[in-house]
Amino acid sequence: MTEEIIIAGFGGQGVLSMGKILAYSGIMQDLEVSWMPSYGPEMRGGTANVTVILSNERISSPILSQFDTAIILNQQSMDKFEETVKPGGILIYDSNGITHHPTRKDIQIFRIDANDEAGKLGLKKVFNMIVLGGFLKIKPIVNLDNIHKGLEKSLPARYHHLIAENEKAITRGMEIIYQVDPA
Amino acid sequence: MSFETHKFNSHIAVPENLVYAKTPLMNDKPLSYCPGCGHGTIHRLIMETVEELDILEDTIGIAPVGCSVLAYEFMGTDVQQAAHGRACALATGISRLYPDKYVFTYQGDGDLAAIGTAETIHACNRGENIVIIFVNNGIYGMTGGQMAPTTLPGMKTSTSPFGREQKDAGYPLKMTELVAHLPGTYYVTRQSVHTPVNVRKAKKAIKKAFELTRHKKGVSFVELVSNCNSGWKMTPVDANKWMEENMFPFYPLGDIKVPSK
Amino acid sequence: MKGNEALAEAAILAGCDGYFGYPITPQSEIMEYLMAEQPMHRTGMVVLQAESEIASINMVYGGAGAGKRVMTSSSSPGISLMQEGISYLAGAELPCVIVNVVRGGPGLGTIQPAQSDYFQSVKGGGHGDYKMITLAPFSVQEMADFVALGFDLAFKYRIPVMILSDGAIGQMMEKVVLPVQRPRWTEQEIREMSPWATVGRTKDRHNNIITSLNLKSDVQEEHNRQLQAKYKTIIENEVRYEESYCEDAEVILIAYGTSARICQKAVDIARHQGIKLGLLRPISLFPFPEAALIKYAEKVKGFLSVEMSAGQMVEDIRLVVEGKTKVAHYGRMGGIVPTTDEIIENVKNLIN
């Protein structure tokens, strides 16, 4: 099993930390992992993206041009990464701020209105965990026990009291993701 | 040396006649400095200090680029030779890694006040526990008498052949007054070695600087205004006179910052 | 751990005595990690933010001259500033580790990863005839492993060692197994192991002098001859490389660092397509794996050098191969990394 994922959105949406939690959870599940961010000024309010690879084999390139799954959280990222999903792959997106919905017919498209949901829950900060929950529903490559351990590992101890809230968000994400037809 | 002279010397050199001896820590090598230059005396004062404080095993010197680039040939302590201007950075590295050692730099005006200004200011500002010996003769002696940052207004050098003009070349830089303003410096003084009285005062200042290092007080900065008779194109005697008349009014001798009791 | 963080932790574990640096993207995590970790409380290691890269490398010179395990890190523009100091370190034969997390140039360039400092690292970079041992990590694990290795080689040969990484390896996270803690040397150990070091003169020896200055030409030529002899010994003993699928390969990719990771994937894909592609990854860039290249030069249709540069390492490959086989180059610049598709396309062109 090798899962090659790109997570892309705005800086501040928790894109990098979502990738980090996924990568740490993969380590807890004894997988090989790599986490490769786009770095630099882009991190400050511009677009941010991170490539996460989980595999039970040695990982070669941490930098990819095609992905099994693209998790897309803004329009710029949609424009850039929709075409990088491998045929038969998966595209997950949050419709908030999206004006051009995905159109490809050779991939599976899932929508998760995580931004709205986080607003409803009054928990804007766990937006990224709702998205992660959605992803794990479609691709259960890491089990929830290991996600818990991954959260413990990647969050500083002073935030550990927030883990339960994060897990609640993940569960909620699993409930609200749904498949859509290409636009 | 002829046999006769040798015999004559051995006749004179008896203990009861001994008033002054060669500093043992000065290596047995003829100095490469011009006759009348202050470097040899300043080297000796530092080596005497190291002997008197009995700190040879814990003393490391830094030689610069400039006339004293070969200082390590003459000084008997362990010495590192630095790239031009970087002596204070080397000293910082050594002193941080060996906080109980005595680290001194020995720098000219080009090294300390031009190319190494940043390293000097920042080492002083961090309060590194080091001794900085700054020999200021207002000229680049080694490379043949070019203008230094400390060259006096109107002073002729090979790169200011009509005299230093402030509007083109700026003003002489008083590094010693400048670093005295920084909280990291503890003891800042300006001395000279052109008369026996001044030599004694300079020795006292250098010894005090090393003693303060023992107590980890931060930077001790000792400027020594010196002549450069070849660069200034004067006889040694005239050079000292010119120094008194021209350098000292601009670079007055004495303590600039003294430790409060 | 991020590559940069793994390297920083490995420095503490390697018994490093001092780190002197100046912040620059994409390697600031190294000093940030060290400052947060406060190794003074763990091993007594000193960490100091200098006023410039020029000061950093000269603090390293001071520490190295006094026999300590010292290091600095920077990225391309900062490494350019250090070249004077590196030349002095090489001339005075001082051991130290210098890390370059390369970004694209020339000038201020970009903060994205590149491999355009190859020439600067393996050909000298500063003035004079000198070499640095240059190690090129291609994983977070090697970022960690090469610190202790770098110190070992640096002291074995009294030579500066460069770890030539890039922004991608520095910023990525992977699993890493950290080495065990090595003790820092005591002053007594330093005096015994490095009798040349300026630790302070004892009564039983003359004064130690660290210098790169020889005003007499014949002495300076002899010093140069000795340096060259040392580099020859290093070439004979310290070549490191890794090869995969080279035995039956029609074309061999030559790549290091991030490019080598991408090439691994290209080899996997090509083999699936029935193309006999191999990868030879130089781990030491100086010394360069010349013998391995010569061995395969007579067997393959060609070598393809894949670099994040306009073509630097390819010049060394051509020098070694001396026309025995085709040598091509594929590179991207400015912070762009080559893709597997582009690499395979170039391999096909080479075969035809």
CATH number for the domain including B46? Answer: 3.40.50.970
State the Cα–Cα distance between residues C273 and B249, nearest whole angstrom: 85
Q: For residue B1, is pLDDT > 80?
A: no
Structural domain count, chain B: 1
CATH at residue A91: 3.40.920.10
Range of the domain at B90: 22-257
Tell whether B66 is covered by a domain.
yes
Task: Tell me whether residue B138 is in a domain.
Answer: yes
CB B261 within 8 A of CB B219: no
C-chain residues near B101 (CB < 8 A): 200
B60-74 burial, b at 16+ Cβ within 10 Å, e below that, comes to: bbbbbbbbbbbbbbb
Q: What span, in angstroms and rounded, lies between the C-alpha atoms of A162 and A159?
A: 6
Judged by a CB distance cut-off of 8 A, whether residue C62 touches chain B is: yes
Domain count, chain A: 1
Interface test with B, best of C49, C191, C209 (most B CBs within 10 A): C209
Nearest to A146 by CA among A2, A26, A19: A26
**Is residue B5's pLDDT more than 70?**
no
Strands A85-93 and A108-111: parallel
Query: Residue ranges of the alpha helices (H) in C92-139?
Result: 118-122
Helix, strand, coil abundance in chain A, percent, nearest 5? 45, 25, 30
Judge: B93–C63 Cβ closer than 8 Å, yes or no.
yes
Q: Of the candidates C282, C232, C273, which has an alpha carbon nearest to the alpha carbon of residue C253?
A: C282
Whether the predicted pLDDT of B135 surpasses 70: yes
Tell me the domains of chain C and their CATH numbers: 3-187 (3.40.50.970), 241-351 (3.40.50.920)
Instruction: Let me know if residue B13 belongs to a domain.
Output: no
Residue of A nearest to C173 (CA): A35
Q: Does residue B90 contact residue C58 with C-beta atoms inside 8 Å?
A: yes
DSSP one-letter code for A101: -
The DSSP bridge pattern shows strands B254-257 and C18-21 to be unpaired
Predicted confidence at residue B16, as pLDDT, reads 82
Closest among C147, C194, C187, C184 to C17, alpha carbons compared: C184
pLDDT digits (tens, 9 = 90+) for C281-334: 999 999 999 999 999 999 999 999 999 999 999 999 999 999 999 999 999 999
Burial of C143 (0-12, 13-18, 19+ CB in 10 A): buried
A149's CB contacts (< 8 A; 6+ apart) are A24, A25, A28
Mean pLDDT of the region C120-141: 97
Average pLDDT score over chain B: 93
Measure C265 CA to nearest chain A CA, in Å. Answer: 5
In the stretch 38-97 of chain A, residues with CB closer than 8 A to chain C read 39-41, 59-63, 65
Q: Which positions of chain A have pLDDT values less than 50?
A: 42-43
Q: Do chain A and B touch: 3 or more Cβ pairs under 8 angstroms? A: no
- The residue behind tokens 């899962």 is A3
pLDDT digits (tens, 9 = 90+) for B193-230: 999 999 999 999 999 999 999 999 999 999 999 999 99
pLDDT by residue (tens digit) across A81-102?
999 999 999 999 999 999 999 9
- Domain carrying residue A66: 2-180
8 Å CB contact of C174 and A41: no
pLDDT per position as a tens digit, B151-180: 999 999 999 999 999 999 999 999 999 999
Beta-bridge mates of residue B192: B225
Encode pLDDT of A23-41 as tens digits.
Answer: 999 999 999 999 999 865 5
Whether the CB of B128 is below 8 Å from some CB of chain C: the reply is: no
Chain B within 8 Å of C204 (Cβ-Cβ)? no
| CA distances to A27, C16, C286 from C137, in Å | 22, 19, 13
Supply the pLDDT for residue B182. 97
Distance between CA atoms of residues B134 and B119, nearest Å: 14
